[in-house]
């Protein structure tokens, strides 16, 4: 079972990071502290999902760093492939969204799957990739090309919404 957990923490931002945006510095520090770590009564924290609340930052005597209390949620990288959507489904090129062609006695109704909408889904697969930093191999050090490494999410879920009751929550609310 996977859950989105909301936590509260005070984040210490060292003075040399003051030139960066506060949200970026906080996200980096929280990921250093919690990503890929097991937290008591929570489980494995995958990655920072969102910072939902920032309070005032404080500088304590004898410490030049700022301390900011934040509320945060963890998890990202959930993929639902086209074959796991409610069927029949099509991609609307004009709107750039997937559409479920829902059949009723009165005919077909197009139910749009807009980006950012809350959904209910079933987990069908999971993938964990060790993204720990590694030193360059001798072959990589010898090559002169400056190819950027492919960034991978440390943890990915593959989901399905192809069953009754799954999909956008707005589809299943009664009027």
Q: Domains of the chain (ranges plus CATH)?
A: 5-76 (3.30.1490.120), 79-171 (2.40.50.140)
pLDDT at residue 27 tops 80: yes
Residue 90 has what pLDDT? 84
Q: Please give the backbone phi and psi of residue 126, each rounded to the nearest 5 degrees, phi first.
A: -140, 155
Q: Which residue has the higher pLDDT, 153 or 8?
A: 8
Mean pLDDT, rounded, for 25-50:
78
What's the token pair of residue 114? 């807009």
């Amino acid at each position: 079972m996977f859950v989105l957990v909301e936590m509260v923490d005070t984040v210490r931002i060292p003075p040399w990071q003051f030139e960066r945006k506060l949200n970026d510095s906080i996200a980096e520090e929280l990921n250093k502290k919690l990503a890929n770590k097991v937290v008591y009564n929570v489980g494995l924290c995958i990655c920072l999902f969102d910072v939902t609340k920032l309070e005032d930052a404080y500088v304590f005597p004898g410490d030049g760093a700022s301390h900011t209390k934040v509320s945060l949620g963890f998890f990202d990288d959930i993929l639902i492939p086209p074959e796991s959507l409610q069927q029949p489904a099509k991609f609307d090129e004009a709107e750039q969204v997937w559409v479920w062609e829902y059949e009723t006695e009165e005919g077909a109704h197009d139910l749009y799957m807009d980006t950012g909408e809350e959904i209910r889904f079933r987990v069908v697969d999971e993938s964990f990739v060790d993204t720990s930093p590694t030193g360059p191999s001798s072959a990589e050090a010898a090559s002169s090309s400056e190819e950027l490494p492919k960034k991978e999410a440390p943890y990915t879920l593959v989901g399905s919404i192809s069953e009754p009751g799954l999909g956008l929550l707005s589809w299943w609310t009664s009027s």
